[in-house]
Structure 1
């Protein structure tokens, strides 16, 4: 029997080793979830503009070195197709200025990047809280 993913997550991370490690960890433990990985903000913006299916969630590395990442949030929010896709910011450390800036720009959660199984489980719980409703209640 083929299992169709019920949730698609876009992971934007410039560190190839960490991107692979986190994607493997999440795909292994989250059922019916597909992780799409990209290494640059520009790739992500292009993918979001032309992807046949929009992600249910974006995991975005706040501390990528390529460009002002906060401008990328503005670009995502200005894209009518993915305007309301929740974004979770991932960072190497807790930076109060970044946290406040992220929340002001509509990022739904700010998480220090997980580097252990326990930390990965905590991120999984956050991701599960954003799962789309797949069945609607019926009223009698």
Structure 2
């Protein structure tokens, strides 16, 4: 399986560690770059030296929310194509619909049980490893 460049936008350090632990236990060697908020992520993306294959985005963040980040990302010609998957605890139907209207590639609820979380992460990353959009960008 190929390695992905993943931009994780997450302000909760425990969630960041959980993703690292999950990918490590699955023996996945993806390159994960972390941004603790949307502003930090936009600076990384606008620098253009680092363009991820996928973005994992939390919705509830300080400074600019995940939805605000999406609006900015999707209005940017060079960045709008990057598949963005919302990884959140919010099962709010309004958030879900808003995100899909803006063109997200997926909406994944973070389960409470760690084993369920690992299972979801494994499926999510497996899918993007075989996705033709990503294939073409390597």
TM class, shorter-chain normalised? 0.7 to 0.9
**Contact 2:44/2:50 (CA < 8 Å) preserved in 1?**
no
Is 1:94 the equivalent of 2:85?
no
What is the SS of the residue equivalent to 1:129?
A: helix
Tell me how far apart the structure 2 counterparts of residues 81 and 53 of structure 1 sit (CA, whole Å).
12
Q: Name 2:135's counterpart in structure 1.
A: 133
**Contact 1:60/1:87 (CA < 8 Å) preserved in 2?**
yes
Larger radius of gyration: 1
Closer, same or farther: CA 68–38 of 1 in aligned 2, 3 Å: closer
- The Cα RMSD (Å) is 2.0
CA deviation map 1:22-68 (0-9, x unaligned): 22322442534111111010000000111423100000001224334
**Contact 2:38/2:65 (CA < 8 Å) preserved in 1?**
no
Q: Name 2:121's counterpart in structure 1.
A: 123
TM-score of the superposed pair, with normalisation by structure 1? 0.81
How far residue 81 of structure 1 moved from its aligned partner, in angstroms, is 2.5
Alignment of 1:22-101 (within 5 A): 22-29=19-26, 31-101=28-98
Tell me how far apart the structure 2 counterparts of residues 94 and 68 of structure 1 sit (CA, whole Å).
16
Tell me how far apart the structure 2 counterparts of residues 86 and 53 of structure 1 sit (CA, whole Å).
15
The aligned length equals 130
What is the SS of the residue equivalent to 2:52?
A: coil
CA deviation map 1:75-112 (0-9, x unaligned): 11122332201001011131111111110011111111
Runs of 4+ in 1 over 6 A off after TM superposition: none
| Residue ranges of structure 1 left out of the alignment (5+ in a row) | 135-140
**Contact 1:23/1:37 (CA < 8 Å) preserved in 2?**
no
Q: Larger % of helix: which?
A: 2
